[in-house]
Every structure is written in C-alpha cells, then in structure tokens.
Amino acid sequence: DAGVTQSPTHLIKTRGQQVTLRCSPISGHKSVSWYQQVLGQGPQFIFQYYEKEERGRGNFPDRFSARQFPNYSSELNVNALLLGDSALYLCASSLGVGGDGYTFGSGTRLTVV
C-alpha cells in the first residue's frame, strides 16, 4: 500500500512567485496536515484539514493557504514567496482529526532565490 506521497520532491522558485505543493494521503485516511521545517529546526504546524474542512491553523501569514479535495488529497499554496519560506514542507495523513497514526510523507524541498 502506498504511503503519503508528495509532489514535487524539489522546487526552486523566485521571490514574489507563487507555489503549489501537493499531497496524497494513505488510502482511507481522511485527515491531512501540513508542516514547515526550516533547516535545523523541528517541523512547525501550518494547517490540518479533515473531510475538506480546515480544522486547525498554525501561526502562519495569510500568504499560506490550503484546501482538501473530495478524494482527500490536499494542496498547500504559498503566495508572494519570501526567502524565509525556503524549507522542507511535510504532509501527514491520519484516519481522523485526533488520530494516533500520523504518517508523514518525505516532503517537498522548496528553495526560494
């Protein structure tokens, strides 16, 4: 069974551009969470979606947005990219909102130049 898949694996963008990152959860998982991990730091929570509704949001500016589709896949959008947005973006899926079994993908490495 496939794990959590994220695309693309690597991405280079220029300051001011917009980026869309994609995540496909494990089959049967209805919740998707997004995390940002800056080099040398632990992951920071950005969003959680469950059944296509936002269920949690971290301390990130409005430039960050996300959505979840009927098939439970998700997209994370970041507008007006800043150099500080360079990070590993991780997606995690689980059966429910408070599920114990969070499974993370390998992430998308975003570099903003």
Partner 1 sequence: DAKTTQPPSMDCAEGRAANLPCNHSTISGNEYVYWYRQIHSQGPQYIIHGLKNNETNEMASLIITEDRKSSTLILPHATLRDTAVYYCIVRFHGSGNTGKLIFGQGTTLQVKP
Q: Distance between CA atoms of 35 and 87, rounded to whole angstroms? A: 10
Q: Does 90 bind partner 1 (CB under 8 A)?
A: yes
End-to-end CA distance of the chain: 37
Using the 8-state DSSP alphabet, how is residue 99 labeled? -
Rg of the chain (C-alpha set): 13
Q: Distance between CA atoms of 40 and 31, rounded to whole angstroms? A: 27
Q: Does 25 bind partner 1 (CB under 8 A)?
A: no
Rounded to a whole number of angstroms, the minimum distance from the CB of residue 34 to partner 1 is 11
Torsion, Cα 19 37 73 48, to 10 degrees, reads -110
Q: Does 103 bind partner 1 (CB under 8 A)?
A: yes
Rounded to a whole number of angstroms, the minimum distance from the CB of residue 83 to partner 1 is 21
Q: Does 8 bind partner 1 (CB under 8 A)?
A: no
For partner 1, what does the binding mask look like between residues 32 and 51, x meaning CB under 8 A? -x-x-----xxxxx--x---
Query: What are the residues binding partner 1 (CB under 8 A)?
Result: 4, 31, 33, 35, 41-45, 48, 55-56, 58, 90, 92, 94, 96-107
